[in-house]
Amino acid sequence: MRIPFIAGNWKMNKSIDEARQLVSELLPLLKDIKTAEIAVCPPFVSLTSVKSLLLGSAVKLGTQNIHDQEKGAFTGEVAPGMLAGWVDYAILGHSERRQIFGESDAFINRKVLAALKHGMTPILCIGETLEENEAGQTETVLERQVRAGVADISATDAPRLVVAYEPIWAIGTGRAATADDAQTRCAFVRACLRAQLGDAADTIRVQYGGSVSAANAAEILSKPDIDGALVGGASLKAADFAAICRAAGA
Ligand code: PEP
């Protein structure tokens, strides 16, 4: 039994004050939702103040990135150990990190291992571009990203992993995958996880991400291999994010 998991990726949005405001609006709307796990992932600068507002609630905290090294001359980066004990989740390998900042599969894998080592649950993001999709390469891309992303994860850690399938053409475009297509891809991702990690694939939650909204969440989340959603734009509005969370678990 996989507990549905909804995570809000705020990306580079919200000042510290705005982050506090959003969480204050969100918490009363989420407090009756018992059957889904929920996390918010604000920018680094707001993690501590958001954390203090979340104390006493069931809502979890996530970071949008970490570096793979323990410390050193990496100006502007944040080491995994700095967040250990503070955040529950780490979004890793988001397509914006892959495409804009040139993160490789190998670098993302080192971050995944570092997150696990420091007690954070990685949300490993994977997904194909529009060109890859149209060229019929989606499965090849997903298989490669899963295989590389989960390399060297121990059998003990494997069940903790979360994978977010996010077709890049659906992110921020308002054009979500159909629920049936999302189900097909998430089932394929689970098959890839099974090939790499064995029966842990039954426990690992596979989220769908890409223009999830209050209007389409219920249908997408009703699919058997979709265990939640990674939500970008709609996570910036309390009412919309709460509606998506409610669709995952009343
Ligand atoms: C994302 O960036 O992870 C995402 C899914 O964004 P959006 O919901 O805005 O498409």
- Domain residue limits, the chain: 5-248
Cα separation values, 94 from 65, 126, 238, Å:
9, 7, 23
Protein residue with least CA distance to atom 2, ligand 1: 232
Q: Residue 250: which pLDDT band, with cuts at 50, 70 and 90?
A: low
Whether pLDDT at 249 is above 90:
no
* 5-248 maps to CATH 3.90.1300.10: no
Q: Which protein residue has the closest C-alpha to ligand 1 atom 1? A: 232
Q: Please list the residues that pair with 19 across neighbouring strands.
A: none
* Cα 246 to Cα 128: distance, rounded to the nearest angstrom: 28
- Rounded average pLDDT over 189-194: 98
Can you give the pLDDT at residue 1? 83
Q: Closest Cα partner for 92 from 105, 81, 82, 83?
A: 105
Active site residue 94: yes
Ligand 1 centroid to residue 117 C-alpha, Å: 27
Report pTM. 0.97
Distance (Å, rounded) from C-alpha 143 to C-alpha 107?
Answer: 17
- Interval between CA 235 and ligand 1 midpoint (Å): 9
Would you say residue 116 has pLDDT above 90? yes
Spatial contact of 223 and 186, defined as CB atoms under 8 Å apart = yes
Cβ atoms of 90 and 61 within 8 Å: the answer is no
Q: Decide whether any atom of ligand 1 lies within 6 Å of the 240 Cβ.
A: no
Mutate to test the pocket of ligand 1, among 173, 231, 235, 236 (most ligand atoms within 8 A of CB): 231
In terms of Cα–Cα distance, which of 41, 4, 59, 20 is closest to 231? 41
**Environment class of 55 (CB within 10 Å of its CB; exposed 0-12, middle 13-18, buried 19+):** exposed
Respond yes or no: is residue 128 known to be catalytic: no
Ligand 1 pocket test, candidate residues 10, 211, 235, most atoms within 8 A of CB: 211
pLDDT of residue 87: 98
- pLDDT of residue 246 exceeding 80, the answer is yes
Q: Give the CA distances from residue 185 to residues 31, 82, 86, 220, in Å, rounded to whole numbers and listed in that order.
A: 32, 35, 33, 12
- In whole angstroms, give the CA distance from residue 178 to residue 211: 11
- Residue 141: CB atoms within 10 A of its CB come to 18
Residues 77-81: what's their mean pLDDT?
98
